[in-house]
Amino acid sequence: MEKELLIPRENIQRRVKELARQISSDYEGKEPILIGILNGVVFFFADLMREISIPTKMDFIRAASYGSEMKSSGSIRLTKDVEMPVRGQPVILVEDIVDTGLTLTHIVKNLESKGPESLRICALIDKLERRDIDVSIDYCGFKINEGFLVGYGLDYDEKYRHLPDICILK
Ligand code: IMP
Ligand code: MG
């Protein structure tokens, strides 16, 4: 399959720094728990956490929805839950890309039932094309209208995750 450069690594790093600066200022005096949604988020998560200037904690959740297809299967299953106690804590959920919004909605419900002090969402990419459920993203890296993206953690059938730039698959 052909791929075309969409967001070069320099632009990703610049935007990650801006998001981190915003989060550091909004959470001044607090120690939020960053909860990453595995696996796609790993590079974004690592870069973001290192750019945030206030102390943060880390934990991860894993949800299964995509197989080898380019669209959501519609059913989401948590295959790994958070391990850190989140009750009464400020939580920032970190996601790579929001498409239909199904995955995020499912995870937000799960986390809210654990009673965090607050819950905000940080997503590297907001894909507007196929949104089925309204989700409000508090910290958004890039908005794109359509297309299937790979690289910087994003995969197609477990391929292309290692690419340093974000590309569009043709
Ligand atoms: P949603 O439930 O439809 O919002 O799908 C979200 C999940 O699907 C993301 O966490 C990604 O893992 C995956 N996904 C959605 N769009 C893309 C894409 O363009 N490239 C790679 N993965 C994607
Ligand atoms: Mg994901």
> Can you state the percent helix, strand and coil of the chain, rounding each to 5?
25, 35, 40
Q: Is the pLDDT of residue 169 over 80?
A: yes
Q: How many CB atoms lie within 10 A of CB 15?
A: 15
Asked if residues 56 and 36 have their Cβ atoms less than 8 Å apart, the reply is no
Which is the catalytic residue, given 26, 47, 81, 99? 99
What is the average per-residue pLDDT within 122-137?
90
- What is the β-pairing status of strands 118-127 and 139-144? parallel
Dihedral sign for Cα 106, 59, 8, 64, please.
negative
- What is the β-pairing status of strands 57-64 and 33-38? parallel
Q: What is the pLDDT of residue 69?
A: 59
- Counted residue by residue, the chain has a size of 170
- Ligand 1 pocket member 100 (CB < 6 A): yes
- Locate the ligand 1 atom nearest the alpha carbon of residue 99 and give its number: 4
- Whole-Å CA distances, 111 to 3, 102, 149, 165, 170: 36, 14, 27, 31, 36
At 144-155, the pLDDT tens digits run 998 999 999 999
Q: What is the pTM of this model?
A: 0.94
Q: Classify 9-52+88-147 by CATH class.
A: alpha beta
Q: Is the pLDDT of residue 12 over 60?
A: yes
- Ligand 1 pocket member 169 (CB < 6 A): no
At 37-95, the pLDDT tens digits run 999 999 999 999 999 999 999 999 999 875 555 555 567 889 999 999 999 999 999 99
- Ligand 1 pocket member 65 (CB < 6 A): yes
Ligand 1: which residue has its CA nearest to atom 12? 40
Asked if residues 140 and 16 have their Cβ atoms less than 8 Å apart, the reply is no
Residue of 66, 78, 126 to mutate, ligand 1, most atoms within 8 A of C-beta: 66
Q: How many CB atoms lie within 10 A of CB 21?
A: 13
Q: What is the pLDDT of residue 130?
A: 80
How high does pLDDT run on average in the chain? 93
> Which letter does DSSP use for residue 32 in this model?
P
